[in-house]
Structure 1
C-alpha cells in the first residue's frame, strides 16, 4: 500500500500535466474562443459547441504521458510494476472524479443563463439529460475511458515496441473500414443511429466504462513484461 501511495505522489508532483494543461491549455482556451464567438454573433437559437471534448482529449494525453514519463522513473525506485499500475489507476480515478464534479458544477452554473451570450458549452442537449447522478456518470466514465485509451496505446508500445503500433493501427483502420463498408452495403447505419438515439448518454457511457476496464486489464498484463 505504501508503494501505491508513492506512485500516486510521483504523479501528483507533475501538476502541470495532470491539472494545469488539461484545464488551462485545453478547456479554458476552447471556452474563451467560443465565448468570444457567442458575444459577437449572439445567435437567437444559442451557440452549441463541442469544445467540451477538449478536456477529454487531454485526459487521453495524460494517459499517454503517464506511462511514458513516470513508468521508467518508478521502476528506478524499485517499485513493482503491479504497484505502479495500481497507483496509476487510483490517481486516474481521483482525477476523473474531481474533473467530473467540476464539469458538472460548471454545467449547473451555466444553466439556461448560458453565460449571457447564448453559449451552451458545459450543459449540452443529450449529454446533460437525466439526473445529476447520470450526468456525473457520463462525464466520469468518458474521462476514465479516454485516460486508459491513451494508457493502453503506450502499453502496446512498451510491450511490443514500434512494431506493435505499426501492426495495431493498420489492423484497427482495416477493421473499421471493413465494418463501415458492411454497414453501408447492408444499410445498417439507420439501425445503428436509431439504437444509439434510443439510449441515454449515461447508458452509452457505461459501455465506455466497460471498454476502459478492458483497456486497463490488457495494459496491466502488457506492462508486467514491458521493457523500460
Structure 2
C-alpha cells in the first residue's frame, strides 16, 4: 500500500544531512590523497636518485684524482726545468759553433735527456686539460732529446756537413722550447684552477725562440 502522506520531517532532515555528508567526506578524502601524493612526489623529487648519486660520487673521485695528478706533474716538470736550464744554455752555445762541446759533455746531455724522457713517459688517464699539459711536456722533452742526438751526429760527420746539422739542432731546440712553454702555461692555469696558485715551470732561458715566459705573479698566489 503506497504511502499517502510524506515522510516525517525528522526523517527527511536526517536523509538530507546524510546526502550532504557524503560529498563532503569524498572531498576530504580526495584532498588528503592529493596532499599525500603531491607531498610524496615533492619529497622524492627533492632527493637524488641512485644514478645521480653515483654520477656525483664519480665526479668527486675524478676531482681528487686530478688534483693529485696536477701536483705530481708539477713536481716532475719543476725537476725537469732545473735539469734543462744548464743543458740548453750549453747546447745553445755549442750549436752556435762558437764553442763545440766535448764528447763527455754530449754524453752528460744524453744522460740528462734520457732521464727526462723516462720521467715523462708515464701517461695516466686524467682530465683533458691535464692530459694536454702532460702530453705537451712529454713532446717537448722528446724534442730536446732529438736536438741532443742531432748535435752528437754533427760531431761525427765531415766538417762540410756540420753547419746543416747544427741548424737542425737549433730548429729542434727552438721548437721544443716553444712546446714546453705552451705546456707550462697550461700547467700554470691548471694549478690556479685547482686552488694551488701560480706554479711556474717555464724554462729559465728563452733560447731566442720567442717561447712563453712566466707572468711575473708570485709562486703559489691565486689569480
Q: With structure 1 as the length reference, what TM-score do the two structures score?
A: 0.28
Find the structure with the greater CA-based Rg: 2
Higher helix share: 1
